[in-house]
Amino acid sequence: MKRFTAFVPLFFVCLITFAQKKNLAEKLGYPKDAKLLIIHADDAGFSHSADSAIMSAYTKGVINSASIMVPCPWFPEIAGFAKAHPEMDWGIHLTLTAEWKNYKWGGVASSGQTPSLLNKDGYLYPSNEEFGANAKVDEAEKEMRAQIEKAKAFGIRLTHLDNHMGSILTSPGIIEMYQRLGREYKLPVLVPLGYVKMLAPKLVASIDTSAVIVDNFIMAYMMAPADKWKNFYNTNLQQLKPGLNELVFHLAFEDNEMKAIAKDHPDYGSTWRQQDYNYGTSEEFKAQIKAKGIYLVTWGDIKKAWYGN
């Protein structure tokens, strides 16, 4: 009898250990080697043009995720759409930089609380280099919290956190704080491990690999002619591997607003974003998704599997 009672706890320990070995795909109810894909749009709220393209892409069934730049002028517009569409993923695109030549913004927190984040004109710095050289971790945390809390106050159902321009990769302290905020708010955070290994290998030691990790982060980095724009995305989709993949579009229309914003800034500018929209809403893109046995998932699915709500 004593042997049996000793066996019972051991049996349950074995069951728990077995359950813990499930990878993300299995936790979401898919085969262990499933190719999971989030189709995401960055920079919601950054302009009316971007908001319009993102809302259009969602209604066309193209994207299932977007992240919002809370400090930007068009935040209220996308916040209203997000509140009306809680079924879609809505993350915070934590914004610590303002990169455009003639289009700027400050932070959400009081400037008196975050002086190290702001240039002499009171705007966020335009580059990661300037941000990294000046930002204090505690002030960056105050600004990130302010952005999250403002989005919540507008009634947005949040599913995840990610970051504009990769500014969190400027120091171990900031990326560790970013991950800690995710745990505190019970929101998965985008940590594209392959991207970090390539651009900031010294930060790999600061990444919590027990959290949700995006195995493959697909985002265009170079301008290409319109007739070749599809090649980058098609190649990546055709070579998609098992694990969690995120494909990131930068959507907007090439209208007068977007052209003015992107003056002297062709990277992720008006033409770039229009071409992303054209490809993302094309039948070719939809066929690529259907033809490869890809499972579309959302950050909301992952949040529920990870945190239970």
Q: Are 71 and 95 in contact, with CB atoms under 8 Å apart?
A: yes
> Tens digits of per-residue pLDDT, 11-32?
444 444 444 578 999 999 999 9
Residue 69 is assigned to a structural domain of this protein: yes
Residue 195 is assigned to a structural domain of this protein: yes
Nearest to 135 by CA among 146, 124, 149, 150: 124
Residue 88 is assigned to a structural domain of this protein: yes
pTM given for the model:
0.92
Residue 12 is assigned to a structural domain of this protein: no
State what percent of residues in the chain have pLDDT above 70.
94
Residue 69 has a pLDDT of 99
- Give start and end residues of each alpha helix (H) in the chain: 2-20, 24-27, 48-59, 75-84, 128-134, 137-153, 172-185, 193-199, 229-238, 256-261, 270-280, 283-291, 299-307
Nearest to 153 by CA among 43, 51, 79, 46: 79
Token pair listed for 270: 């008006």
Nearest to 114 by CA among 92, 145, 147, 136: 136
d(CA 72, CA 81): 15
Residue 36 is assigned to a structural domain of this protein: yes
Q: Are 239 and 254 in contact, with CB atoms under 8 Å apart?
A: no
Residue 23 is assigned to a structural domain of this protein: no
Residue 20 has a pLDDT of 54
CA 27-30-35 angle, to 5 degrees, is 110
What residues make up the domain containing 99?
A: 29-307
Count of structural domains, the chain = 1
Residue 3 is assigned to a structural domain of this protein: no
CATH number at residue 286: 3.20.20.370
Judge whether residue 171 has pLDDT over 50.
yes
Half-sphere exposure of residue 204: CA atoms within 13 angstroms, side-chain side: 10
Q: Using N-to-C axis directions, what is the helix angle for 172-185 and 137-153, rounded to 10°?
A: 30
Residue 192 has a pLDDT of 85
Residue 201 is assigned to a structural domain of this protein: yes
